[in-house]
Amino acid sequence: DVQLQASGGGLVQAGGSLRLSCAASGFTFNNYGIGWLRQAPGKEREEISCISSSGGSTSYADSVKGRFTISRDNAKNTVYLQMNSLKPEDTAPYYCAVKGTYYCSGYFIYWGQGTLVTVSS
């Protein structure tokens, strides 16, 4: 079975940092792009970042560009999201998900359980 376990969320003050991890199993990890999504209450789900299977290509939503950095370790089947300069509007549960291709195009085909990030002002 495909499993995606996100961790690293928590409560942080505005301007602070958190590092999220997504540990994956049950599929050939280095064959797929992996992304992070979030959905704050009352807002639409937002794809905030993605990394290609090799790690050679990344993408970011405008809302996090310059503050968040995605990376992956294919030897550990893990994707990371370093979040700096956090803002209260970053508050949301964060989910990692698997793209259906090597790249960051197309749809997500698997989602994991979220990890909650709360940024206080």
Burial bucket for residue 22 (CB in 10 Å: 0-12, 13-18, 19+): buried
Higher pLDDT, 118 or 113: 118
pLDDT tens digits, 48-104: 999 999 999 999 999 999 999 999 999 999 999 999 999 999 999 999 999 999 999
Q: How many CB atoms lie within 10 A of CB 52?
A: 19
Would the pLDDT of 45 be above 90?
yes
Mean pLDDT of the chain: 96
Q: In the sheet that 68-73 helps form, which strands lie side by side, from edge to edge?
A: 3-7, 18-25, 78-83, 68-73
Give just the sign of the alpha carbon dihedral 106, 116, 80, 42: positive
Long-range Cβ contact pairs of 113-116 (< 8 A, separation 24 or more): 113/4, 113/5, 113/6, 114/6, 114/9, 115/6, 115/7, 115/8, 115/9, 115/20, 116/9, 116/10, 116/92
Would the pLDDT of 41 be above 90?
no
pLDDT for residue 7: 97
> How many percent of the chain have pLDDT more than 70?
100
